[in-house]
Amino acid sequence: MKAVIGLGNPGIKYSQTKHNVGFRLLDTIVKEAGYPYRDDFRGKVAEGRLNDKRVIFLKPYTYMNLSGLAVNQLINYYKISNDDFLIIHDDMDLPLGKLRLRSKGSSGGHNGLKSIIGELGTQEFWRLKIGVGRPKEDLDVTNHVLSSFKKEEEIILSEVLSAAYKIVLLWIEGRGMEAMNTFN
């Protein structure tokens, strides 16, 4: 069994923000696969089979800073190993248009990852970082990640999410290293 977890904040107010790219990608995957969401594990969950693997998809509704609560609950319930779950999240250290798949690492200052690492007690899990760039000098970090993408940025994001979709499918097939070599 695999788990793919997209990070974000619940509600229409946040749906198109930079912080919610994890939710957006997960919604695309779940919709393409035709799986319905249900309320469970402090969020929205969908499940089914992709590439002959049973996959659980989770959008934690605990808000970004408490994502670890929902992730920990799901991981412990299904006894999913660290190699078998993938966290999808925004990353300000990557420019818009860049993706990076990693099998482990620190939080890099990302509060959602901090929460997950704190709850699980490990940094050893897969994560797909979607670049959203740094804020301009006059904008603070919180306002940046909670702002929407501009029209021209949405065009770039569309291409990025398409590539990220391919990365997730490769990862589900157990080809994470190949995906890293191809897309990083």
Domains of the chain, each with CATH number or no CATH: 2-183 (3.40.50.1470)
What are the C-alpha distances in Å from 176 to residues 71, 102, 172?
20, 9, 8
Q: Which CA distances in Å does 44 have to 8, 31, 67, 69?
A: 12, 13, 12, 14
Q: Kindly list the catalytic residues.
A: 19
Cα distance between the two ends of the chain: 25
**Under 8 Å CB-to-CB from 177, ≥6 apart: which residues?**
none
Q: pLDDT (tens digit, 0 to 9) for every residue of the chain, 184 residues total? A: 999 999 999 999 999 999 999 999 999 999 999 999 999 999 999 999 987 889 999 999 999 999 999 999 999 999 999 999 999 999 999 999 999 999 999 999 999 999 999 999 999 999 999 999 998 877 788 889 999 999 999 999 999 999 999 999 999 999 999 999 998 8
